[in-house]
Amino acid sequence: MPAQPTIEDILDLLAVIAQDLNALREKIDDDIGRRAVASQTTAITNLWRKIDAQRLAQPVGLDKAVAGLKAISTELKKEKKKILTVAKVIEGAARVIAIAEKVRGLIPL
């Protein structure tokens, strides 16, 4: 399955089509034919501009990456709090065990 083209790929293809139409228009002697090709070139150029404007309006990939990293950072902070809570419980349990071992050592068997 071929990879899906990016917006830049589509814009490049439209630019090539517009250039090819312009080259074709130069070879046409008929005035009506030249106008028809020019009209198609204008339509493709307008389409190119619309797509490019939409592309520019979208957040840059870096913005998406930063947003993703912020979300990951938030999740990591939550996990850190959970781990700190568990660490405190383990530390308390270790103290209880140490005290129990001292008491056990004081009691003769």
Residue 3 is predicted with a pLDDT of 75
Using alpha carbons only, give the angle 49, 50, 52 rounded to the nearest 5 degrees: 65
Residue 84 is predicted with a pLDDT of 86
Give me the tens of pLDDT residue by residue for the chain, a chain 109 residues long: 567 878 888 899 999 999 999 898 888 888 888 888 899 999 999 999 998 888 888 766 777 777 777 888 888 888 888 888 888 889 888 989 989 988 988 887 6
Residue 56 is predicted with a pLDDT of 83
**Contacts by residues 1-6 (CB-CB < 8 Å, ≥ 24 positions apart):** none
Residue 109 is predicted with a pLDDT of 67
